[in-house]
Amino acid sequence: MDRVRLIFDSSSSRGRHEQRMLLLGGGGSPVFGGARSALAAAEGANKRRPFFTSPEEHLEEEYYYDEQLPDKKRRLSPEQVRLLERSFEAENKLEPERKSELARKLGLQPRQVAVWFQNRRARWKTKQLEHDFDRLKSSYGSLLSDHDSLLKENDRLRSQVISLTEKLQSRTAASAGAAGIAGTKSDVQAAASVADPATLAVQTKVEDRLSAGSGGSAVVDGEAAKQLVDSSEVSYFREGYHCMGPVDGGQVHSEEDDVSDEGCNYYSDGIFAAEHRHQEVVDAQLDWWAWS
DNA sequence: TTGTGTTTTACGACCTCC
DNA sequence: GGAGGTCGTAAAACACAA
């Protein structure tokens, strides 16, 4: 029997539709021939064997062609795959010369080499995507934990600011009381300005931290905030957070100053409520001084 | 042995480049 | 318009648990 085997040739780029069978000579050179023994080949279809063994191997297989099912796929031999992998590592695109050269070396159709490279590139891309996904996932994880610890630190500092501000207010009230009960609101504020320098230093520090990076100082109350949110397509207000201007010597600017959220400090619900209560106490106190 | 999930080979459709 | 690329998919080959 001739040392030939059945393969498919669809090597012409657009001629893939019109598959035609080739008879491949034992040495690997393609020889045109008829669709030889397709039926006979079908009889041996249950036996598993690699489609393209190495040229040396298929020289040894006398019975090979009678067993082939023409439309069966066959895996490439490990040696063929090894060479293809080496070639792919060197360059993952295939120029026509290299394709022909590889095909000749491996005893494959150029079309098979091209298909192998296409599939190999697809596998490489999938691996690359998995790799990128893993990297992004771990990077996201560490960013998230950084973000959480920053939020905690932020809350801690804000609590500290509130507590220090309250202390300052009580000292201010004590100083004003010593100055005389008939003082006015501006007297109280003046008294505050001559408060204990150490206290003022602390106050200045925390105010600096609070207002760092903020250009304006606006309080947006619940209704104003709602209007702002409603009037813009995209809300920049984070749910559960409130915009407050920086604490300004116990004073908080009114919403008329600036209705944009530029310069806002965002406070969580708890901090916002505490600060809001605190501001009410301060205002009531000042009113009491003014009217009494 | 068989059922099932994964990998590999191959192709068609479509796109881009020259 | 041809050549060669990607993408999605079919089907054979293969691995492996039950």
Distance A131 CA to B1 C1' (A): 39
Average pLDDT for A47-59? 36
Q: Which residues pair with A248 in a beta bridge?
A: A251
pLDDT over 90 (residue A14): no
Distance A13 CA to C11 C1' (A): 22
Look up the pTM and report it: 0.47
3-state secondary structure at position A242: strand
| Nucleic strand B under 7 Å from the C-beta of A76 | yes
Cα A73 from Cα A90, distance rounded (Å): 27
Write down the pLDDT at residue A141: 92
- What's the pLDDT tens digit per position in A117-161? 999 999 999 988 888 888 898 899 999 999 999 999 999 999 999
CA A212 vs CA A147, A152, A246, A275: distances in Å: 19, 18, 9, 19
